[in-house]
Structure formats: structure tokens, C-alpha cells
Chains A and B, each alone.
Chain A
Amino acid sequence: ETGVTQTPRHLVMGMTNKKSLKCEQHLGHNAMYWYKQSAKKPLELMFVYNFKEQTENNSVPSRFSPECPNSSHLFLHLHTLQPEDSALYLCASSQDSSGGAGNEQFFGPGTRLTVL
């Protein structure tokens, strides 16, 4: 497996469920990101991890809980979500989280989440 993978690709959950999204990168990167892509809105950065440490929380509600056990894996734990949380959740990775030239972010295919 190469690049950035995400599982599951599709998820339907009720508002009282607890579920987790998984992201894995096979690129040897040290930074990982969660983004939310909603219809008609720009991609929104949610969380950033750099060398396993959370460096950015973009005012995300606490019903979204990220976890980064190592530089290759990133999780997004979900509980008591709302219907407006339905979206495509994208994971990305880069060499690190600095703004240096050439530090490209590589994206996974996303998890399509529907909250009923």
C-alpha cells in the first residue's frame, strides 16, 4: 500500500453512536492533518499533528477527538455527532508542518460520513 489511505470510505451513523475514522500514511512523513469538506464550502482544516504532537485545533467541537499514536497513524474519534457534521473527511500528511518550499501535503481519498 502506498500514499495515504483512509478507512472506512463510507460511514453512516446515528447521533448517539461512537465511531472512529482511521488514516495511515506510508510516506515516512511526520505531520498529519484532518480536513472537513462540506458541500459548497472550502476545505476546513480541523487538526494538525507534527511529530505526534497536536499543534493546531481549529476551534473544532469536542465531539470530534483526534488521536495520533505514531507518525504513521491518525484517528478521528466521533461521538454524539449532529446531522450538520455530515461531510467528506480528508486526511493528509507532509514531511513536517513547516511552511518550507516543497513541503507538499498528500491527501487520502476521504471518508464520506453521513449522520442521521
Chain B
Amino acid sequence: AQSVTQLDSHVSVSEGTPVLLRCNYSSSYSPSLFWYVQHPNKGLQLLLKYTSAATLVKGINGFEAEFKKSETSFHLTKPSAHMSDAAEYFCVVSDRAGFQKLVFGTGTRLLVSP
């Protein structure tokens, strides 16, 4: 069975400082890993995805994540936070080999202060 653990329910940063949202996964198979973002009253938008190519994945809006198999982690980072980054972020794992069933983490709410 696959699972995802997002280690922080809330993360607060100041505008212009780095962002780190942590995610650990568990998967019996070679996983695909995703980060989605959800702004208030909006659907989920894909930020980036790992599907066995490069372990450092670059996404939209300056976000990136590194797949570390030895640590079973897929942390999301951004060098400099912007006010518009304030949202809920979800780490997601999927079994790449079979049916595309996404397993979501509980989410991390990112708060950005001026």
C-alpha cells in the first residue's frame, strides 16, 4: 500500500525567504510523485511531478522538489516566497506501473507574511 506523510500542517514564512514543505512517502512499487497546490475556491493545480527521470524536478512558479529514494522523501522548495504562494499544498504518490490511483497527503497550509 502507498502512503504519504506531510510533516507540517502549517508553514509560515516571510515574503522573500525560502520555502520548505516536507513530504515522506511509502510505496511498494516505483512511485510517481506529485505536488499539487490549491488556492482558496480553486481546484488543485499540478506544480510538478517525478516519474523516474531526473531526481531534481522543476515546476511552475519557481518551485522544485528532489526525489531522494534513500530517505523516501520528496520535499518541495522555493528560494524566495511570494505573497501569491499562500495556499494549501498536497504531496501525492501514485503507483506508476498500474492504475492511476492518486494517494494524497493531508496538506500543508503555507502562510506568507509581508
Contacts and interface: CB of A to CB of B under 8 A. Distances in A.
Contact of A107 (B41, B45, B99, B107): B45
A69 interface: no
A5 B87 CA distance: 21
Contact of A101 (B41, B43, B51, B105): B51
Interface stretch (A38-46, A60-68, A75-83): A38-46
Contact of B97 (A42, A99, A106): A99
Given A101-B32, A104-B46, A108-B43, A43 B99 contact: no
Interface centre among A9, A41, A101 (most CB of B within 10 A): A101
B80 interface: no
Contact of B96 (A4, A9, A40, A101): A101
Interface residues of A, dominant DSSP: loop
**A interface, how many residues as a size bin?**
20 to 34
**B interface, how many residues as a size bin?**
20 to 34
A42 B104 contact: yes
A98 B43 contact: no
Interface in A61-111: 90, 92, 94, 97-110
Interface of A: 4, 9, 31, 40-43, 45, 48, 55-56, 90, 92, 94, 97-110
